Chain A
């Protein structure tokens, strides 16, 4: 089984977010980067589990510049066989999807797994775009993935519930919580990751369809109004008369 897992780097979840250059650039000063949680915890780990059960290989792909190599090595340490980095700044979801699709087009992957979204851009659309470029079925928000022979049986979240689907042949999937249990890389994995291949490939010709013009931070909250715990009816009154939300 030949599995491709798409990962991206993201600021550690405890990061305080700030911007520079008149709010046009994310300030990476003091920011620790991690593997985007949905990519690592669910997509990558499920890919590795399937390889362990059925044989084959897991390739990691990331579209990013050289400073992301340590993050890619961390992902390899969890148990992938190799990694590929498309050498370009990931500035727009359409651009990233085109790069991954161009790489995967002639490699016959049985499945391409992504996280449901990144925790920095929160788009959730790269997986669907890759599927469209490659003319493959796309199953988003998967919480379970099992193989029954050549068929994949996938549970995914849909509005108001979940749906069990069958897909025959290659597909693209985005991983949601539940698809796998987070794995902590062990010492052997970390040592092995140092020598596993991390190929750098130059980017395919593609233009950005969007540009971030500027960023802003949400407005600060005012003071919190305290209500006496003995009189919660006062809270109900405030929510009705002052906040007007009930």
Chain B
């Protein structure tokens, strides 16, 4: 069974989440027998870095409006038909979710959105996904001939193999008239830092930081770790931090390798969004804070003392 992935490009290169989808598809294709083909849209540089993750062929729709899910999904379906792939994989991220939903309708395919493990194919085609905002997992069977899977960023990881470079061909397909016009793109940050759901390391802070003026030390710690920053819901609700940093059940769910929570109590709604993290560190001045029960490492102490000291320690570690 060949697998087709939709790989989102930024400046011609596949995003980290797209490379993770390629890694996932390569492993699944090795298990099921078949090759991995990619479809991309817009400007592409070389093979977009996909060959190194097991993709053998890339179909690129260079003229597609990459903001139009209608056009992108048409490109995916055309590539599925061209390659005969019956399993379609993409990242469970901004672009992936919207393209996947349309593709599943076009191909009459069942979908598992937000997979966290490889499919098993012994008693039906079953994919594990996170449900109840991280409080549980479900084993979902896809019963249709075509199957669509979106994979949760950071749930599988990046795995290169040495297949070399992928062969890139132009996708010939009629994508129709685009129905949306982009007025403007506003980057969240100018330093090209990676988006929170894809970050390996995340430093998060809560109401314990007392006010937005104290986030300097959080940002400094994050920059020493090379980590992204996040926050609890009240912190974004009162406007201390932007909404896109809000993690938890009603914010975004993340699964970094390392999640450091500073001055966050660990309410059930917060934990739901972060308990998929590999390692959790909690810094809280209250030894009874519920977050310690969900943590691997803890420091009981005042953030205003501990954070600067921790930053110094990381600096020394980085200096070797």
Contact = CB atoms under 8 A, between A and B. Distances in A.
B275 A225 contact: no
Given A127-B101, A129-B102, A224-B298, A94 B111 contact: yes
A158 interface: yes
B269 A13 contact: yes
Interface stretch (A51-59, A77-85, A131-139): A131-139
Interface in B294-319: 294-302, 305-306, 309-310, 312-314, 316-317
A88 interface: no
Interface string A143-176: 1000000000100011111111111110000001
Max chain B CB contacts within 10 Å: which of A11, A164, A210? A210
A243 B108 CA distance: 44
A19 B131 CA distance: 12
A158 B282 CA distance: 30
Contact of B250 (A119, A164, A211, A243): A119
Max chain A CB contacts within 10 Å: which of B69, B180, B257? B180
A147 to B, nearest CB: 15
Contacts of B204: none
A132 B105 CA distance: 7
A212 B140 contact: yes
Contacts of A131: 69-70, 101-102
B243 A177 contact: yes
Interface of A is mostly: mixed
B132 A224 contact: no
Interface string A91-104: 01110010000000
- Contact residues on B (Cβ < 8 Å of other chain), bracket: 35 or more
A213 B137 contact: no
A232 interface: yes
B98 A122 contact: no
A132 B297 contact: no
A232 B137 contact: no
Contact of B187 (A133, A136, A160): A160
A13 B250 contact: yes
A122 B133 contact: yes
B297 A224 contact: yes
B30 interface: no
B246 to A, nearest CB: 7
Interface stretch (B38-46, B55-63, B89-97, B166-174): B89-97
A14 B131 contact: no
B114 A123 contact: yes
Contact of B101 (A17, A132, A215, A221): A132
Contact of A124 (B15, B97, B183, B301): B97
Contact of A209 (B98, B143, B301): B143
Interface stretch (A60-68, A185-193, A194-202, A233-241): A233-241
Given A159-B95, A211-B141, A233-B313, A225 B298 contact: yes
A164 B183 CA distance: 5
B306 A229 contact: yes
B104 A221 contact: no
B121 interface: no
A125 interface: yes
Given A122-B133, A161-B187, A165-B180, A140 B94 contact: yes
A119 B182 contact: no
Contacts of B100: 125, 128
9 contacts: A143-B243, A209-B142, A210-B140, A213-B139, A227-B299, A233-B313, A235-B310, A239-B258, A243-B279
Interface of A: 11, 13-17, 19, 37-38, 92-94, 97, 119-129, 131-133, 136-141, 143, 153, 157-169, 176-178, 208-218, 221-222, 224-230, 232-233, 235-236, 238-240, 243, 245-246
